[in-house]
Amino acid sequence: MEIKTCIENICQGDTNLQIEAIEALREIDFNALTECLLKILESHPDVAIKEKVFLLLKNVAFPRTNIYQVERMFKSDEPFIRNATIEVLRQADADFLSTMSRLAQDPDKDIRKFVLDTLVEHSSREAIQIVEHCLNDPASIVRQAAVESLGNMGIRKSAPAIEKQLDIETNLMIQCTCLESLANMRHSPNSKAIIEKFSKENNPMLLFSFVRYLGTFGEPEHLNLLETFVNKKGNMILQQVASAAIGILNRYEDIILSNELIQTLRDARAKQTNPNRIWEMTRAILMGLKEKGLDEARKLSCDGDEAEQMAAKEYLERYGTPEDQESLDECF
């Protein structure tokens, strides 16, 4: 049976024809079969047919063909084909990283970026080396993807490479991604120098990412920066500053927040509907007030909504009197 006839029969609804065609494939040149299947995969409009052809490629053709035909699929313009290729490559463990390394140098910047997106789920030394190498890519879209991939991998050993990129990078979007990625991995050995540098930066494009970075690495002395940002940008940055203040407070629980930041937290809480965020902000307000928050906590412990009650309970268990403990037993 000819390859063309085999493929036509496989794509028919007749089970007998399909079985006959699959049996005939045992005698077929698999490189030629792969080429034929690739053409169908690239041109057929029916996703159901594509899925059948892909299964045939994965289970019958690719185990007996060469990796360069798989690379051809990886470079396809169709998301279905590219994503299917990743599954094939992951099964071929021995070839996966060598193929990714080769494709990371492809002339097409979109292919190089797609390689980085693919490597996010891998944390091997070889995968990290491929991603870090792309930090030097001439295309900004690839450099940004490399930084983002390292941040999503969460490999702390990659933090110095991201910090170096942040120092030399002139593209503002990539600078933002560097700050966000360091915050994601929660590790930044040169955080003090980075905060010192960007605290003097007035470009509004960097502000949101820098505030998030502050929330992860900032110290009590940096709370005044958050106040400055709220005074300059107001509601536009309210939620981000509130989150950053909470981040610093969670790491340094002995600090007392200024009236300005307490009000920022109150304003941000008033705009929230998410119970977890309401609890988080109420807790920060009370913990930021320290002993001055007793009256507010007592009121919330019985009259607040569930999220506020939980935050007030936690506060009163730490700062409350024996009478407060008795009241808590009555309210809960």
List pLDDT tens digits, range 129-144: 999 999 999 999 999 9
Tell me the per-residue pLDDT of 101-124, one tens digit each, with 9 for 90 and over. 888 999 999 889 988 988 887 878
For 20, 49, 90, the CA distances from 43, given in Å and listed in that order, are 24, 11, 24
Tell me which residue of 71, 115, 108 sits closest to 92, measured CA to CA.
71
120-125 contact pairs (CB < 8 A, 24+): 120/149, 120/152, 120/153, 122/97, 122/153, 123/153, 123/155, 124/97
| E strand map for the chain | none
Angle, nearest 10°, between helix axes 93-103 and 79-91?
130
pLDDT digits (tens, 9 = 90+) for 275-325: 999 999 999 999 999 888 888 988 888 888 999 999 988 888 888 888 877
Query: Residue 179 above 60 pLDDT?
Result: yes
Nearest-angstrom CA–CA distance, 311 and 279: 6
pLDDT at 5 over 60: yes
pLDDT at 209 > cutoff 90: yes
- Residue 270's pLDDT is 92
pLDDT at 234 exceeding the cut of 70: yes
pTM of the model: 0.76
**pLDDT single digits (tens) 52-66:** 877 777 666 555 555
- Confidence band, pLDDT 50/70/90 cuts, at residue 71: confident
For the record, the structure tokens of 133 come out as: 């190498």
Mean pLDDT computed over 153-168: 93
Q: For the chain, how many residues are written? A: 332
Give CA–CA dist 133/149, Å, rounded: 12
| Strand, helix or coil for residue 108 | coil
Binning pLDDT at 50, 70 and 90, where does residue 83 land? confident
